[in-house]
Structure 1
Amino acid sequence: MTETSWLWTYVACMAAGAVLFFFWSRDPRHVPQYEYAVAIMIPVWSGLAYTAMALGQGTIEVSGQTVYFARYLDWLVTTPLILFVLASTGMFFRPLDKTTIFTLVGLDVIMILSGLFADLSGESAAKWFWYATGCVCLALILGILWGRVRREAFAHNAEIGGAFTRVNTYFTLMWLGYPTVWALGPSGIGVIDSTTEVALFVILPIFSKVGFSIYDLYELRKLAPKFSEFDEPNPNSRLRKTIP
């Protein structure tokens, strides 16, 4: 497949994901509607960004390499939304910890912009400084999710903690793929060519955006009916236990 074919395939997958989440929202199964709204917004915006690339827009040439800055415009919007819904899964049926969410989003924005600066640095040594900065931010994001958010999820309810752990494991594996592909691609050490990089940056975001939202909503749609009779779950529930 050509680069353009991969890009249009991605757009089609994002459109299909948005339609799926819309239909799920018509039968929410006690999951808050904002979860569906965010799930729809993610593929809509990402699909538009990739449409620009498929139409030959959203790119510039730096030191002989094509920089897809439309990707960063995509990630700058969609990745904070993904972090928001992931954190809200860990805080399901509880007041959202705004400080934690703000910290995650702030680190994410720095991470995305660091990646953009790395791409714009060409062959200068500065690109590895920006790459390392982005990797540090990713490590901090994962540390907060696996530390503070996971502890809060289990302290609230064991089933919520288990659901968050499963979704967060999926999320972690997907997000570790981004710096790996970047480092191996033309922007990094150049082990893989541009077409392969485009293909990987199509496959990976399909699973980390639509795939993630499907898995997250699947877990929430299983959990929500169990708490639908309460404003908050009973703190003395038999489900409550310590972190394993």
Structure 2
Amino acid sequence: MKEIEVYWLWIYVAVMAAGAFYFASLSFQRKGVPRIEYLVAFIIPVWSGTAYASMAVGQGIVDIGEKVTYYARYLDWVVTTPLLLVALSMTGMFYIRKDKVIILGLVAADVFMILTGLIADLTSSWPLRYMWYTLGLVALLLILWIIWYPLRHKAQSQGRELASLYDKAAGYLSILWVCYPTIWLIGPSGIGLVGQVTDTVLFVILPIFSKVGFSILDLNGLRALKKSPDSNPLTA
């Protein structure tokens, strides 16, 4: 690993630490937002920063043929991305009883997506690598469908204010999540249009926005909500 990569990884760790401290500080004045929301927002940067710290000290990395696989990224994603979906689900069902089937469906599809991505990255055969990559994309499409159909419908049933917040949070997360397989594909794990240093930098910048950035948007949006839904829901 080059020195510039180590530098960027430590920047990431520092940002995650700052994010964890910020979310912990918000929890002292919850403003009607359940404690679990703050706990989830706190765990995400703590775990992600820990995973990236392991890479910064030269762990969480394995050579597969002529390619380096940062498997610590997947150890990060398999924990933090389901938590991001749980957070989005709690926002989408903020005023109502939580639908466990929707939440478990999102988490299961997400874990499947992350693990197929890891298998793809550990596979030296190109046809098999893209087979696993494609399976991960199918899981991503399922996640996006759940986010934008059944879960969004529930958010819309609770009034315009919550529906607006949900659309912002879901749109923000969806755009960033589509970037992950795109960067994977153009990087050393895929067709190699960008080198390892660029790949590392991109996988530092993107998770900062998709983890800390999302939680800032989500938590502060929830803290600004009324204590009960407005009287003009978008749907019955």
Indicate the TM-score class for this superposition, using the shorter chain for normalisation. Answer: over 0.9
Distance 1:207 1:214 in 2: 9
Q: 1:159 touches 1:239 (CA, 8 Å); kept in 2? A: no
TM-score w.r.t. length of structure 1: 0.93
Q: 1:120 aligns with which of 108, 119, 122?
A: 122
Quote how far apart the aligned CAs of 1:123 are. 4.0
Equivalence map 1:15-94=2 (5 Å): 15-94=17-96
Q: 2:159 touches 2:231 (CA, 8 Å); kept in 1? A: no
Q: 2:77 touches 2:114 (CA, 8 Å); kept in 1? A: yes
Quote how far apart the aligned CAs of 1:122 are. 2.1
Q: Which amino acid aligns with 1:113?
A: L
TM-score w.r.t. length of structure 2: 0.96
List per-residue Cα deviations over 1:151-183 (Å, max 9, x = no partner). Answer: 111112221111101110000111011000000
Gaps of 5+ in 2: none
Q: Which amino acid aligns with 1:221?
A: R
Q: 2:234 aligns with which of 208, 216, 241?
A: 241
1:6 counterpart residue number: 8
SS in 2 for 1:66: strand
SS in 1 for 2:59: coil
2:105 counterpart of 1:97: no
Q: Which amino acid aligns with 1:186?
A: P
Distance 1:238 1:136 in 2: 38
Aligned length: 234
Superposed CA RMSD in Å reads: 1.2
SS in 2 for 1:61: strand
Distance 2:198 2:157 in 1: 44
Gaps of 5+ in 1: none
Greater mean alpha carbon deviation, residues 151-160 or residues 176-185: 151-160
Q: Which amino acid aligns with 2:95?
A: F
1:201 counterpart residue number: 203
Equivalence map 1:181-200=2 (5 Å): 181-200=183-202
Amino-acid identity (%): 49
2:152 counterpart of 1:159: no
Deviant stretches of 4+, over 6 Å: none
Distance 1:208 1:124 in 2: 29
